[in-house]
Amino acid sequence: MRRAAHALSVLLWAATLSGGVARAHHSFAVFFQTDKTIAVTGVVTELQFKNPHGLIRLTVTRPDGGTEEWTAETNSPSILARRGWDKQTLKPGEKVTVQGWPARNGTRYLRMQSALRADGTPIGKPLSANED
């Protein structure tokens, strides 16, 4: 009986934790404008190759000469790997252009669709909004 009670408590604990993870994942259309794409060119400050989505942080120079920070959300590392990416694909200091769907809330945040090196060479294969 004690063993069954322990097993039940472990199962309930695991269910509680997994429910939080499931709720944390968001719908693409809720956060990003699906009918619009933008391109942002900047210098890579960081590539986070992590789950559930990677992040590319860029310093972008505005037309007035000032700078601003942008973040591009990518697909998961496993999908990026199938598209030709790895942890070393982008290095800090590298200039890139990231194209994607802008955040609905107007922040400097987008969901990456494609990326180009400074010379115009595509980085990996383009990504889909529906690939997680």
- CATH number (domain holding residue 85): 2.40.50.140
Domain of residue 34 covers: 28-117
Q: Note the pTM of the prediction, 2 decimals.
A: 0.75
Residue ranges of the chain with per-residue pLDDT less than 50: 4-24
Q: Considering the domain boundaries, does residue 11 fall inside one?
A: no
Return the pLDDT at 88.
Answer: 93
User: In this structure, is residue 132 part of a structural domain?
Assistant: no
Share of the chain above pLDDT 70, in %: 73
Q: In sequence order, what DSSP letters do the residues of 74-114 get, joined into one string?
A: ---HHHHHHTT--TTSS-TT-EEEEEEEEBTT-SSEEEEEE
Q: Which residue has the tokens 């920070």?
A: 69
In the chain, the number of structural domains is 1
pLDDT at residue 19 in the model: 42
3-state secondary structure of 15: helix
Whether 111 is covered by a domain: the verdict is: yes
pLDDT of residue 94: 97
Residues contacting residue 83 through CB under 8 Å, at least 6 positions apart: 75, 124, 125, 126, 127
Considering the domain boundaries, does residue 45 fall inside one? yes
DSSP three-state, residue 121: coil
Q: Does 42 reside within a domain?
A: yes
Residue 51 belongs to some domain of the structure: yes
What's the pLDDT score for residue 22? 41
Q: Is residue 123, in this structure, part of any structural domain at all? A: no
- Give the pLDDT score at 17: 43
CA 123 to the chain's CA centroid: 15
Q: Check residue 18 and give its pLDDT.
A: 41
Partners of residue 43 on adjacent β-strands = 59, 95
